[in-house]
Amino acid sequence: MAPGGSVSQSAKKHDMYTASAWLFLVTMLLVGWAVLSLHDKDTRAAIVATAWALIFASPIPLFIWPSTCGYTNTRGRPCPEPSYGFLLGCRRYYHWWPKLLVRIRLLKEAQRQVERHQQTRDTAIPQSASGDSVPLVRVADSPLSLCGAWAGIISAATGVIALIIH
């Protein structure tokens, strides 16, 4: 048990909930602006406001909302470390980028990165299977975390594209 660690972790969680609340507030103001613009028949302003609303809302599910890592290696145990947002994994075990790689189905690359990091940092992990077989790394997702990750990606992309077009 490390009480200090859990205290700083819950403080960080609290900060992340606060950040989510602020982003949510900005999003709601932008949605309000979009509604008022529609009311004034100003479609262009409404689209721009909606695009900014999507851009401000998307970091909440992507990078901020407290969650657990869930990166699952070939031995099949989901990583219980806390992570922030549903897109990336924990930093402690270097599941940060690899979790994203698993999401976009680059399974081999994800496993290679995690193993390379573990070998340089800790004791070498014995390699059981040959490198040719497809590894069974995956992300232990709940429906919420899966929807959150993709909703964040889609809303960020939609917002950016809408701003570029208009």
Binding stretches for Zn ion (CB under 5 A): 69, 71, 79, 81, 89-90, 93, 95
Q: Closest CB to Zn ion among 57 and 79?
A: 79
| Nearest-approach distance from CB 45 to Zn ion, in angstroms | 43
Q: What is the DSSP string of 1-69?
A: --HHHHHHHHHHHHHHHHHHHHHHHHHHHHHHHHHHHHHTT-HHHHHHHHHHHHHHHTHIIIIISEEE-
| Nearest-approach distance from CB 78 to Zn ion, in angstroms | 8
Residue 130 main-chain phi, psi, to 5 deg? -75, 160
Q: Closest CB to Zn ion among 71 and 84?
A: 71
| Rounded Cα distance, 68 and 1, in Å | 19
Nearest of 108, 73, 107 to residue 90 by alpha carbon: 73
Q: Closest CB to Zn ion among 30 and 90?
A: 90
| Nearest-approach distance from CB 81 to Zn ion, in angstroms | 4
Q: Closest CB to Zn ion among 18 and 142?
A: 142
In one letter, which amino acid is 74?
Answer: T
| Nearest-approach distance from CB 55 to Zn ion, in angstroms | 28
